[in-house]
């Protein structure tokens, strides 16, 4: 694990904010940091103007007290708060687990629902908070592969695959509404039928649905990823597959995702359609439904990916433009 440089900064704007993503339009969101210690090579935040760099994480200080003050001034409390994946709430930073625990406690003690997506290791001190009020918690565990060698390359400081699978089981067993987020799917690397089977088989005893999206890249993220991969030690059996993945993105399609002023470069539509069809077919063998994120695939799906759980105006049965019968 390469430990990042940690800087502490004061948040000058409100702790609770709104997201430009359509999937998060119904909830308040919280960012705990700028940048993330997990160091995922594909992370979209690398394209943000505020991104502090690959080896730096800026941690907001005094957040629990700021959140307390903010909630005390509100005439109406939010129904649900989502911890933004731009800054995973379970990062391997000294002392960070205590901040996360306090933030969750503040919200849950007020009967405010919390939702999060994480690729990190949930600390022991936080489990007791989640298990005390599981009916108020919506959890997504990010899992791009069951191959930990691939995970180590693309998510160097995130939790190992076996830890995440264990967390999925524990969350579901204690009554937390839990789903798996297969995002991003890496074309040519993690999109084989065999890989889909392994992943679906591993999670199907604990969850009933998977949210999925194929990797999208902005030019700056493409350059960052390629540069960092060139500096990495990659097993020979994976080198060809990674080269195949990059060749896919030499023929990208520019589409506007459902967020303010966001243009992305995505894999060709027919490739994405084929991947989603195969994933849906494999998942159905294990009793799993698949939600294709319409925010990132507006040309294929009208679904929301339920990243913050099901909201009042949204349900898992929302009509979709994508189906495996589209051929």
Domain-by-domain residue ranges, the chain? 5-292
Residue 114: what pLDDT? 97
pLDDT in tens, 205-263: 999 999 999 998 877 888 888 888 888 888 888 988 998 888 887 776 666 554 445 66
Reported as a pLDDT band with limits 50, 70 and 90, residue 164 is very high
| CATH class of the region 5-292 | alpha beta
User: What percentage of the chain has pLDDT greater than the value 70?
Assistant: 85
User: What phi-psi label fits residue 180: left (phi over 0), alpha (psi between -120 and 50 degrees) or beta?
Assistant: beta
State the average pLDDT over residues 143-159.
Answer: 96
Full-model pTM: 0.89
Lowest-confidence pick of 148-162, 202-216, 284-298: 284-298
CA distance linking residue 231 with residue 196, whole number of Å: 29
Reported as a pLDDT band with limits 50, 70 and 90, residue 146 is very high
Residue 171: what pLDDT? 98
Question: Please, are residues 131 and 178 in contact by the beta-carbon 8 Å criterion?
Answer: no
State the average pLDDT over residues 80-100.
Answer: 92
Helices (H), 155-268: 161-173, 193-203, 219-230, 236-248
Can you tell me whether residue 23 is helix, strand or coil? helix
Please provide the DSSP assignment of 76-109 as one string: S--SEEEE-GGG-SS-S-TTHHHHHHHHHHHHHH
Which residue bears the tokens 């001190």? Answer: 125
Residue 324 pLDDT more than 50? no
Reported as a pLDDT band with limits 50, 70 and 90, residue 185 is very high
Reported as a pLDDT band with limits 50, 70 and 90, residue 21 is low
Strands 80-83 and 28-30: parallel
Residue 325 pLDDT more than 50? no
Q: How many CB atoms lie within 10 A of CB 14?
A: 12
Residue 119: what pLDDT? 97
């Amino acid at each position: 694990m390469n430990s990042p440089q940690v800087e502490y900064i004061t948040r000058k704007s409100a702790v609770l904010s709104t997201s430009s993503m359509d999937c998060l339009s119904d909830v308040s969101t919280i960012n705990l940091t700028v940048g993330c210690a997990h160091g995922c090579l594909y992370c979209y935040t690398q394209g943000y103007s505020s991104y502090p760099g690959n080896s730096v994480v800026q941690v907001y200080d005094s957040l629990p007290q700021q959140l307390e003050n903010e909630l005390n001034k509100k005439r109406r409390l939010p129904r649900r708060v989502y911890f933004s994946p731009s800054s995973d709430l379970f990062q391997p930073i000294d002392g960070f687990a205590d901040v996360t625990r306090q933030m969750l406690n503040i919200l849950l003690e007020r009967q405010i629902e919390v939702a999060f997506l994480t690729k990190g290791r949930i600390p022991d001190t936080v489990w007791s908070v989640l298990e005390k009020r599981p009916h108020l918690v919506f959890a997504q565990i990010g899992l791009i592969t069951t191959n930990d060698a691939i995970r180590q390359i693309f998510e160097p400081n995130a939790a190992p695959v076996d830890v995440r699978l264990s967390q999925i089981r524990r969350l579901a067993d204690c009554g937390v509404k839990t789903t798996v987020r297969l995002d991003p799917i890496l074309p040519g690397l993690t999109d084989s039928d065999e890989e889909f089977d392994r992943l679906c088989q591993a999670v199907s005893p604990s969850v009933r649905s998977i949210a999925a999206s194929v990797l999208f890249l902005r030019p700056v993220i493409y350059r960052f990823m390629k540069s960092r991969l060139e500096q990495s030690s990659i097993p020979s059996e994976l080198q060809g597959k990674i080269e195949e993945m990059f060749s896919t993105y030499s023929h990208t399609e520019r589409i506007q995702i459902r967020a303010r002023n966001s243009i992305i470069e995505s894999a060709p539509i027919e490739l994405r359609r084929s991947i989603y069809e195969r994933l849906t077919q494999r998942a159905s063998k294990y009793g799993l439904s698949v939600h294709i994120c319409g925010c990132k695939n507006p040309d294929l799906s009208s679904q929301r990916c339920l990243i913050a759980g099901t909201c009042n105006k949204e349900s898992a049965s929302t009509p979709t433009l994508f189906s495996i019968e589209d051929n």
